[in-house]
Amino acid sequence: MLTFIGLGLYDELDVSLRGLEAIRSADRVYAEFYTSRLTGTSVERLEELYSKKIHLLDREDVEGDPEWINDAIDHEVVFLTGGDAMVSTTHIDIRLRAERLGIKTKIIHGASIISAICGITGLQNYRFGRSTTIPHPYTTKSGKTMISETPYETIKQNRENDLHTLIFLDIDKEKGCMSIGEGIKLLLRVEMERNEGIISEETLGVGVARAGSPTQVVRADYLGELEEVDFGAPLHTLCIPASLHPIEAEALVAFADAPREILQKRE
């Protein structure tokens, strides 16, 4: 049996009781923290709570040839991730591989930023379109710095359909966790190069830092202002709203310190 367990948003206390019971009864515990990360805890604290050794997996272990799955043929194995167990398409691929090997699978869900963002900001869940990730810039073999335009394209498509965009910010082993300010700079840089008028410094954005933690920060403002806000330690998430329902506008003012003038700009 292979059980996928989402650990929630912030620290070791976010795991469900059902998830904790499954971890403690497992024969072997694996975890990956490159798609999401619990910034309020450590592997050592997780192991102390679980009374289990955690075997950490890197990207190659998960997306390459995950031989560790074979342990689940004859043993109870759990696979831990931050957030919800099945938000990443990589995890769905692992489940399919296990099923092909005749391994039974089960999912124990955890809180995810995808659902939490609605409660945190007041933006309504049915108004969200496709989500996207802003990756760190990369350098080509010729020495040219490249910036992904995929997030910009996603925002463009969503805005054409009057839908909000949830933007994840890159987590890189070497470059670290991208901040909201860094993400905004990259989006505005793409806009400057393409000049399509999709976003600007006057576009409303919503930044969330350390969702689910005691030090959670949520702030809504125009991108030019939001770019300069110090949100503190990671993880950070960014939203680009579409037109606002009256309740959404009121919630952003009340809960995210948004400019009150958005109350007149709502749909």
Residues 244-256: pLDDT tens digits?
Answer: 999 999 999 999 9
Kindly tell me if the per-residue pLDDT of 104 is higher than 90.
yes
What is the pLDDT at residue 265?
63
Residues 50-60 have a mean pLDDT of 94
> What is the rounded average pLDDT of the residues 107-130?
95
Please tell me the predicted confidence (pLDDT) of residue 37: 87
Residue 227 confidence (pLDDT): 97
Torsion of CA 225, 226, 231, 236, to 10 degrees: -160
Judge whether residue 266 has pLDDT over 80: no
- Determine the average pLDDT of the residues in 125-134: 96
Structural domains of the chain, ranges and CATH numbers in brackets: 2-111 (3.40.1010.10), 114-265 (3.30.950.10)
Question: Residue 145 — pLDDT band, cuts 50, 70, 90?
Answer: confident
pLDDT value of position 26: 98
- DSSP conformation class of 152: H
Distance CA 255, CA 121 (A): 7
Using CA atoms, how far apart are residues 7 and 38, in angstroms rounded to an integer?
Answer: 8
Q: What per-residue confidence (pLDDT) applies to 64?
A: 84
Query: What percentage of the chain carries pLDDT values higher than 90?
Result: 86
For CA atoms 249, 251, 256, 261, give the dihedral sign. Answer: positive
Average pLDDT, the chain: 94
